[in-house]
Amino acid sequence: MTELRFDGRVAAITGAGGGLGRAYAHLLAARGAHIVVNDLGGAVDGTASGGSAAVTVVAEIVASGGSAVADANNIATVEGGKAVVQTALDHFGRLDIVINNAGILRDGTLHKMSADNFDSVVAVHLRGAFYVTQPAFTHMREQGYGRIVNTTSAAGLYGNFGQVNYSSAKMGLVGMGKSIAVEGAKYNIKANVIAPVAVSRMTASLMTEEMKKMTPEQVAPVVAYLSHEDCAISGQILSAYGGHVGRVFVGETRGLNKPDLTVEDVADNLDQILNQDGYLTPETLSESMQL
């Protein structure tokens, strides 16, 4: 197969100063893309900043013969999100790819979680993705092309103890990605969601020794495919870890159909309602309503 390259394409990658984002930036740059390396340079919990991480990754890319520019804007603000897009336009004249990867952790059980810790995590992961993607989408509509990749996680898809804020934000990114896919279809804008597992500064303390063998470089090819013009899918969720790639989907059982449904009907037919035999996988809201 012909090598999938990104010559002439411009990608903005948030949280690209380390871990997964850094791996994405290096791979796309090695295949010809111009990269906006966005990273606030803060701690895992989002405190402090500096931008040095982004500068370091840019230096690595340039030293390898690639093209990149550093961006330290705070995507948790409307102005910061717009500025990331403007950085791409100012330096490279266009923007083709947005990879929403930035995030922070402020774990805690529900009954102990402060509103600030909930809001701060949602602000970076979910609102930050919106603040970057909205102006990028406007530009992509005008040029008739775009690729957007949102980042979810197993915690978002399945829930996790002590991560109600993180899980909420990550599942929100699934809904956002699927909606963007629907809105972007007629403009040749494809949006998908990646559910990665890899050792990084943010995840190292949560992983077993076996899981720490899963590297960001093993996830990067999946994200690169979703970012490429030849990507054949939109509105999908792909899991990626340790060289594995799989599809994650929302399914619905055939369930119980009874127009005069009562509370007792639900209680008496729970096994049928939950039975996964012959489950369905609607791709849109309208498809779900037609079941």
pLDDT at 70: 98
Question: Which residue, 233, 248, 263, sits at the end of a domain?
Answer: 248
**Residues 160 and 235 placed together within one structural domain of the fold:** yes
User: Residue 210 is part of which domain span?
Assistant: 10-248
**Residue 17, C-beta contacts closer than 8 angstroms, at least 6 positions apart:** 37, 39, 41, 52, 53, 54, 56, 57
pLDDT at 50: 63
**Residues 127 and 204 placed together within one structural domain of the fold:** yes
The number of domains in the chain is 2
Give the single-character DSSP code of 284: S
**Residues 228 and 256 placed together within one structural domain of the fold:** no
**Catalytic residue selected from 24, 131, 145, 166:** 166
Residue 214 lies in a domain: yes
Tokens of 64: 């390898």
Collapse the DSSP code of 96 into the 3-class scheme (helix H, G, I; strand E, B; otherwise coil) and give the result: coil
pTM of the model: 0.93
Residue 1 lies in a domain: no
**Residues 105 and 229 placed together within one structural domain of the fold:** yes
Residue 126 lies in a domain: yes
Residue 3 lies in a domain: no
Nearest-angstrom CA–CA distance, 240 and 238: 6
pLDDT at 1: 78
**Residues 118 and 215 placed together within one structural domain of the fold:** yes
> In the block, which residue shows the tokens 């989002």?
46
What CATH code is carried by the domain that includes residue 144?
A: 3.40.50.720
**Residues 209 and 254 placed together within one structural domain of the fold:** no
pLDDT at 284: 84
**Residues 192 and 155 placed together within one structural domain of the fold:** yes
Residue 150 lies in a domain: yes
| Helices marked H in the chain | 19-30, 52-63, 78-92, 115-122, 128-143, 154-158, 164-184, 216-227, 263-268, 270-274, 285-289
Give the single-character DSSP code of 132: H
pLDDT at 175: 98
**Residues 60 and 140 placed together within one structural domain of the fold:** yes
Active-site annotation holds for 158: no
Collapse the DSSP code of 126 into the 3-class scheme (helix H, G, I; strand E, B; otherwise coil) and give the result: helix
Rounded mean pLDDT for each run of 10 residues along the chain, 291 residues in total: 95 97 98 97 68 94 98 97 98 98 96 97 98 98 98 96 97 98 98 92 64 90 98 98 97 96 98 97 85 68
Strand partners, 248: 237
